[in-house]
Amino acid sequence: MAAVRSAMTTTRTHFLLLPNNKCSSSGCYFLRLNKAFASLCRWPSTKEKSSSSSAEETLARRIASRGGSISSSSKEFSTREEGQSESLEYRIFFSDRTGRTISPWHDIPLRSSSGEDGDGTLLNFVVEIPKRTKAKMEVATEEQPYTPIKQDTKNGKLRYYPQIHCCAQLFFSRYNINWNYGLLPQTWEDPTHSNPDIENTYGDNDPVDIVEIGERQAEVGEVLKVKPLGIFAMIDEGELDWKVVAISVDDQKAYLVDDIDDVEIYFPGTLTAIHDWFQDYKVPDGSPPNRFGLGDKPADKATALRVIAETNAAWANLVNRHDPGEINQLKPHAET
């Protein structure tokens, strides 16, 4: 037992996994996971097990105590729930200060009204999946015009991040995402636009994703003010799926980081952990690993701001050319 624990903390650790999440005694499917990712999935203490296992229950209690309304950090938006959580009918709708139902994708502004961070405009970030939770929540871009948050489905079943087991379940992941995750409103990765710098890939027909590295666990539907720090060019099944690395301006370390190099200094191992997690998280379900462009490394803040500006312009062009209900009818590589 001690040997297993020791092996989990080596500088370059390889965990043995199969698509069915279990190992055999003779050999397993290798996921390339380094020390940074290992620290996120390390052997948990009894106290940690209790704390992590109640993360979703804590979030549910918070929602229930507020009468089904999740407050927004920006104080400009509110949310309401419809349906039972963890059901196909569950939705979270957004409203503005006047009580008017709005779309978190189309109606929440990309740029925060709080001003600039000294190097670029602060951005609004819509939280879909809080850190340390497993339900794959997402803005329903196909449900126009209000695009509420729902739980994603596959083959008619609710989707969860796969639980990882190894060595007769001696090793396991307590949760499968260690960062707040969601979208940048008023952005769109155009599926008709080729990106020559990234293997001529086309956009994935979704808003740009945010990986927020702050300490606090956010709530589904929160709108956080963040500053972008860098960006990964992930390639998922041949489509380009940008991942912007950002931090909430309310985080205690926010003042320390202004660009991608600062992340490695003040959040050591985080960039590698993000890369490895997004590369391999679908493998336990039998999918191939994702790939990355831009030299398999995160690009700097300037690149992130350029991508955000381009995808914001693509969104503006989209909503001006198409009825909102037709947005998801666009086909990759179609002529416009």
Rg of the chain on CA atoms, in Å: 20
Task: Return d(Cα 99, Cα 96) in angstroms, integer.
Answer: 5
The answer to whether residue 161 is catalytic is: yes
Closest alpha carbon to 189 in 69, 317, 299, 101: 317
297 DSSP assignment = S
- How many C-beta neighbours within 10 Å does residue 218 have? 24
Q: Which of 29, 90, 160, 161 is catalytic?
A: 161
Cβ burial of 156 (10 Å; 0-12, 13-18, 19+) is: exposed
What is the phi/psi pair of residue 39, to 5°? -65, -25
Closest alpha carbon to 229 in 258, 270, 249: 258
Q: What is residue 217's three-state secondary structure?
A: coil
Alpha-helical (H) ranges within 90-228 are none
Q: Which residues, at least 6 apart from 39, have a Cβ–Cβ distance to it below 8 Å? A: 269, 273
- Residues noted as catalytic: 161
